[in-house]
A and B are shown apart, each in its own frame.
Chain A
Amino acid sequence: MIWDILIAVALVIGAVFTLVGSYGLVKIDRPMSRLHAPTKASTLGVGSLLLASILDAYSSGDGSLHEILVMAFLFVTAPISAHFMAKAHIHRGTVAAAPPTLESGETWACLDKDREEQPADTSA
């Protein structure tokens, strides 16, 4: 009985967080703010669903911690993909404020628009 309650609570929490993440993806109007909802809420929701799966495996006798692997992989890779998408937003200029200019005269790597026109670096 206690297992049933724990599994049901983890399932409901995970489903609600997943729904909130996708609702934020539709609801939030600015592109850079829109990154927040799915990359955090949905990842947490899927983590809770995987916790429910672990609890279900333990309640049926043959417990396994395999789902920890998926959970750890998702929690590690979600910030990386969000970071890449934020860099692409800065590159395309769909942000509210451009990054500050550097004192040394260099440009930010993600703003380096004429990189393709430069001759190829053969020293690498």
Chain B
Amino acid sequence: MIQIALVFAYVCIGLSLILAMWRLWKGPNVIDRVLALDTLVVNGIGMIVVFGISTGVETYFESALIIAMLGFVSTVAYARFVLRGNIIE
């Protein structure tokens, strides 16, 4: 049962990554692209967690934590750059 759910989760998160990539490619303005990048990071965390469940290795959680932190910092930096023209005033 877990195997079927894992395959379903892989397919759904892969589709989500493709949709977010489409918005990153298409996005009419720059904030849409930042939002698409943030969604890509969140979906990537989900993909890593599902991969960690399917392999049974505990280490993947740490990479998920690091990617979450980097994703938050990069999103705030991009939005701040659009808002102010520089990041640290």
Contacts and interface: CB of A to CB of B under 8 A. Distances in A.
A8 B37 CA distance: 28
Interface string B26-57: 00111110111011001101100110110010
A70 B43 contact: no
A38 B68 contact: no
Interface string A10-51: 011011101101110110000100110011001101100110
Contacts of B80: 84
Interface of A: 4-5, 7-9, 11-12, 14-16, 18-19, 21-23, 25-26, 31, 34-35, 38-39, 42-43, 45-46, 49-50, 52-53, 56-57, 60, 64, 66-67, 69-70, 73-74, 77-78, 80-81, 84-85, 87-89, 91-92, 94, 110, 115-116
Place the interface of chain B in its size category: 35 or more
Main secondary structure on chain B at its contact with chain A?
Answer: helix
A84 B29 CA distance: 15
Contacts of A110: 83
8 contacts: A12-B9, A38-B35, A46-B49, A64-B58, A66-B58, A85-B75, A88-B34, A92-B29
Which secondary structure dominates where chain A touches chain B? helix
Contacts of A22: 15-17, 19-20, 39, 43
B42 A11 contact: no
Interface of B: 1-2, 4-6, 8-9, 11-13, 15-17, 19-20, 22-23, 28-32, 34-36, 38-39, 42-43, 45-46, 49-50, 52-53, 56, 58, 61, 64-65, 68-69, 72, 75-76, 79-80, 82-85
Given A12-B8, A49-B9, A73-B68, A91 B82 contact: yes
Contacts of A88: 31, 34, 79, 82-83
